[in-house]
Structure 1
Amino acid sequence: MTRTPVTRRAALALCGLVLTLPPAACGSDGGSGGGTASGPAPAARLTVLAAASLTDVFKLIGAAYEKDSPGSTVTFSFAGSQELAAQVKQGAPADALVTADTTTMDGLKSDAGTPVVIAKNKLTIVTAPGNPKQVEGLQSLADPNLKVVLAAPAVPVGRYSRQVLDAQHITVKPVSEEPNVRAVLSKVELGEADAGIVYVTDATTAPGKVDTVDIPDDQNAVASYPAATLDSSRNAAAAGAFVTWLTGPEARQILADAGFEKP
């Protein structure tokens, strides 16, 4: 009977010790929002700013990432890369950024992490179905009777377009200069322009609505798509996990299936 008080005091002491131990010491994994470098990505609601040319494929990317990262959601905001850069500079709440060129991303070094190129792309000429104006290549775009639409010079695809035209000493006077590649595609789809220059992947999103005229590789330009986390993100770990996931085999296969080239 004299041992009973000692046992009771020991039990009470042990109970107090358990209550003061951190969760990890009691076998907890820290919850679903934890995650480690080798474990699952932290669950979070992410906002990603992405170039307009990624509109269709990133919807697939987002669904695949959410499936691989239970509890996570990804919301995309698509626009021309120059618009996205302006949003970042203005403090728009977002976690990651993917642009259609390295130049725009390089201008955000003080606002973003180290970028990684996740895909590449090339240009093509789009015309109305059947190519009624008989556009044969870049040289055809110099025809003053042809209504050509290009993206504005500040837009990556607009800059690439002028790069390839200048290299061939071709002068084009566009009937309009659009804020992003999808606007260029839309002008041709709606018959408001006879031809335009877009990315190969954008042309493939409009089957039956436009025809394409290939630009030879030796006359073409290669667009690189860098992705980076934003310093203003409130979900830094999750944003980093998403950018890393974009470089993995599943994301690259989705991008390849959509016509993007490997980085």
Structure 2
Amino acid sequence: MSLLLTRRRAAAAVLTAALLVPLAACGNDDSGTAKDKDKDKGTAGDSGTASGAPQADLTVLAASSLTDVFKEAGAAYEKANPGTKVTFSFAGSQELAAQVKQGAPADALVTADTKTMDGLSGDTGKPTVIAKNRLVIATGEGNPEKVENLKDLADPKLKVVLAAPEVPVGRYSQQILDAQKIEVKPVSQEPNVRAVLSKVELGEADAGLVYKTDAATATDKVDAIEIPDAENAIASYPAATLKASKHGEAAAAFVAWLSTPEAQKILQGAGFQQP
């Protein structure tokens, strides 16, 4: 009887031990999962995507001259990072700077000049130049007024439109005109480069100074007259995260991606020059 009781107790002990082993294993799995979640979580509630970049809905403030190419770039980035959405807000760089200073909710900023970006150093991370550009003279299709060079823009009979001097392209325009001692009296000064291009497209102006990449988006409506390098200006496009972003890591991942071969191929395919 005593022997039988002993055997029953031994069997019960073995059964209990067998049941405890998987429970202990489950406890270890829960601990590891929690650590993995903390590792992948990122900042401000971002979660990781298949490519490793934090997942988030991003708002990017970008210069008007990036309108077409960034739509393509944004689609490529979203495809490579499922679950991430990139929304762009396009305007003149000076308007974007005002939005940042007013606390507009956004995650990253790309301007058409370093001066505007430098003026926001307290609001941004360290900027990186992602592309460069040059100016051309945009005329109506077929160049009906036979504009050949910058000097022709001084003709008082010619209706010339420029961007306002506080706009990067307006500042670049004035810079190259001053360097050649050419005085131009524009019929209007526009808030961004797309507005200048539109005036020429609609026939409201005979000519205007725009970025080469903008003229390339309207080849069926305007002609682009090249400006020699010695008389031209180089526009640099810096990109930076915004310190007020609620998706810091995701914003940084997007800004970093703009310098990758994939993004550079898209930018240079649109006519932008390498940084």
TM-score strictly above 0.5: yes
Instruction: Give the alignment of 1:131-150 within 5 angstroms.
Output: 131-150=143-162
**Distance in 1 (alpha carbons) for counterparts of 2:187 and 2:47:** 53
**Distance in 2 (alpha carbons) for counterparts of 1:170 and 1:118:** 31
Give the length in aligned residue pairs: 262
CA-CA distance at 1:243 after TM superposition: 0.4
Cα distance change, pair 247–19 in 1 and its aligned pair in 2 (3 A): closer
Instruction: Give the AA of the match of 1:2.
Output: R
Instruction: Give the alignment of 1:62-211 within 5 angstroms.
Output: 62-211=74-223
2:24 paired residue among 14, 25, 29: 14
Instruction: Give the AA of the match of 1:240.
Output: A
- Provide the TM-score with structure 1 as the length reference: 0.93
CA-CA distance at 1:70 after TM superposition: 1.1
**Distance in 2 (alpha carbons) for counterparts of 1:28 and 1:239:** 19
Q: Which moved more, 1:99-108 or 1:38-47?
A: 38-47
**Distance in 1 (alpha carbons) for counterparts of 2:272 and 2:150:** 22
Gaps of 5+ in 2: 1-7
Cα distance change, pair 188–27 in 1 and its aligned pair in 2 (3 A): closer
Instruction: Give the alignment of 1:226-241 within 5 angstroms.
Output: 226-241=238-253
Q: Which runs of 4+ in 1 moved over 6 A?
A: 26-29
Say whether the 8 Å CA contact 1:60–1:254 is kept in structure 2. Answer: yes
Cα distance change, pair 91–207 in 1 and its aligned pair in 2 (3 A): same
Say whether the 8 Å CA contact 2:107–2:251 is kept in structure 1. Answer: yes
CA-CA distance at 1:40 after TM superposition: 1.3
**Distance in 2 (alpha carbons) for counterparts of 1:198 and 1:121:** 10
2:3 corresponds in structure 1 to none
Say whether the 8 Å CA contact 1:23–1:30 is kept in structure 2. Answer: no
- Provide the TM-score with structure 2 as the length reference: 0.89
Q: What's the Cα RMSD here?
A: 2.4
Instruction: Give the AA of the match of 1:253.
Output: K
**Distance in 1 (alpha carbons) for counterparts of 2:52 and 2:182:** 52
1:46 corresponds in structure 2 to 58
CA-CA distance at 1:232 after TM superposition: 0.6
**Distance in 1 (alpha carbons) for counterparts of 2:270 and 2:117:** 23
CA-CA distance at 1:2 after TM superposition: 2.1
Say whether the 8 Å CA contact 1:122–1:223 is kept in structure 2. Answer: yes
CA-CA distance at 1:17 after TM superposition: 3.7
Say whether the 8 Å CA contact 2:62–2:91 is kept in structure 1. Answer: yes
Say whether the 8 Å CA contact 2:130–2:237 is kept in structure 1. Answer: yes
Cα distance change, pair 8–119 in 1 and its aligned pair in 2 (3 A): same
Instruction: Give the AA of the match of 2:9.
Output: T
Percent identical residues = 64
Cα distance change, pair 30–166 in 1 and its aligned pair in 2 (3 A): closer
**Distance in 2 (alpha carbons) for counterparts of 1:15 and 1:250:** 44
